[in-house]
Amino acid sequence: MEKQRIGSDIPPVHAAGLDPAYIPGLVPSGSEVADEADDTALEQGSEATPTDAVPSEEAVVPNAQEDPADEEDDGPVFEVSDRRGAIVADRAGITFRLDEEVAEFGWDEIGAVEIDTPRFGRRFGVTVYMSGRRWFQADVEAPSRGVLKEWAAELDTVLDARFEETEA
């Protein structure tokens, strides 16, 4: 006699509706949470401020040295928006905004990027493909059809610069 399973053969999958942390970019990263915790600790401890909490000049000097390096690494930046949404590609990665929702994707987690300029219409679409067969899409309405080609060329320049940097 052959054994038969009762129930589904498909393993359970975590859904984004149940776990928002499943979608990268929707939940702040650990460093942002740590920064917020430090800020709250400083606000609560402001009544008795120890001398150790006051930043010294030595701590300020390294930050001043790092800023010019960050400015040199900026490279090309792409930013378009309409009344509801925005698409930004900069040195940190690609950011999609729709109303108050923000999704951020770092260059290290992006597998591919697709630009969609329709034959008819004024919607400029960008699709970010992640590893593990996941993809996310955002659309922005252009003021005119002529702007679509300019936006595609600008985003292509940013993508060329970023993906060449990661390959090198």
Please compute the mean of the pLDDT values over residues 57-68 and round it to a whole number. 43
Q: What is the CATH number of the domain that holds 111?
A: 2.30.29.30
Residue-wise pLDDT for 101-118, tens only, equals: 999 999 989 999 999 988
Residues 83 and 68 in one domain: no
Q: Are 139 and 130 in contact (CB under 8 A)?
A: no
At 3, the pLDDT band (50, 70, 90 cuts) reads low
- The pLDDT of residue 166: 56
Residues 67 and 143 in one domain: no
pTM beyond 0.75, yes or no: no
Q: By mean pLDDT, which of 9-23, 130-144, 147-161 is the weakest? A: 9-23
- The pLDDT of residue 67: 46
Other C-beta atoms within 10 Å of 167: how many? 6
By C-alpha distance, which of 158, 82, 162 is closest to 123? 82
Residues 66 and 82 in one domain: no
Please compute the mean of the pLDDT values over residues 113-131 and round it to a whole number. 91
Mean pLDDT of all residues belonging to the chain? 74
Q: What is the span of the domain harbouring residue 28?
A: 20-73
Residues 57 and 106 in one domain: no
Residues 56 and 131 in one domain: no
Residues 55 and 116 in one domain: no
- Distance CA(124)–CA(47), nearest Å, equals 52
Residues 42 and 106 in one domain: no
Residues 50 and 68 in one domain: yes
Phi, psi torsion values for 128, nearest 5 degrees: -105, 120
